[in-house]
Chain A
Amino acid sequence: DAGVIQSPRHEVTEMGQEVTLRCKPISGHNSLFWYRQTMMRGLELLIYFNNNVPIDDSGMPEDRFSAKMPNASFSTLKIQPSEPRDSAVYFCASRFSGRAREQFFGPGTRLTVL
């Protein structure tokens, strides 16, 4: 099993640019989560999907953030326009909702906005 796959692993961009982060969940998992990790705030849930449908996006910080899940094997998190305070590590996680609550995390995308 390849685990959760995220791309890119590192992204450096300039303020005002659009950033798109990508995630492929574990095959067979039907719930997908986007988290953001910073030193100040730790790991915070941004949004999660169940069966490709967004369930709770209350953690999305601003309208500049958007997420989509067009099919069971792919999700994107987009930031437009990006700002320096968006610099963080963004993690995608997945789980099979028919079982307990364990989530499996990808390696993360380290985003730096200059």
Chain B
Amino acid sequence: QKEVEQDPGPLSVPEGAIVSLNCTYSNSAFQYFMWYRQYSRKGPELLMYTYSSGNKEDGRFTAQVDKSSKYISLFIRDSQPSDSATYLCAMARRSGGGADGLTFGKGTHLIIQP
């Protein structure tokens, strides 16, 4: 079992719909949770960052973390064609010092139909 599981899609929805993207994980040491967006042939760009459990909202984007279920979600409201991209969840452990690398899901390819 991979540490982070993510449905690769593609997920195709009409413009204006609410999009739900999800990841599950197996390592309870993960404390930091992120969502990255990656356009074709570009580097991943950070969308949302959450520490531990709870919700975080930023404009049309809402990130949720449920550590008891080891499940994280990203919701996109009023989806736009420009939201079409691959969305990667990423996680990091808490460490005593230095920095940890991120463990990524394989990404969900999202298509917003005009």
Contacts and interface: CB of A to CB of B under 8 A. Distances in A.
Interface in B81-106: 88, 92, 98-106
A45 interface: yes
Contact of B92 (A41, A43, A101, A108): A101
A98 to B, nearest CB: 10
A43, A44, A106, most chain B CB atoms within 10 A: A43
A98 B106 CA distance: 28
A42 B92 contact: no
B106 A42 contact: yes
A75 interface: no
Interface stretch (B9-17, B42-50, B55-63, B68-76): B42-50
A101 B43 contact: no
Nearest to A31: B99
**Consensus secondary structure, chain A interface:** strand
A102 B98 contact: no
Contacts of B44: 43, 91, 105
Interface string B32-58: 101010000111111001010000000
Contacts of A43: 44, 88, 102, 104, 107
B101 A45 contact: yes
A42 B103 CA distance: 10
11 contacts: A35-B101, A41-B106, A42-B105, A42-B106, A44-B104, A59-B101, A97-B99, A101-B99, A102-B49, A105-B44, A108-B42
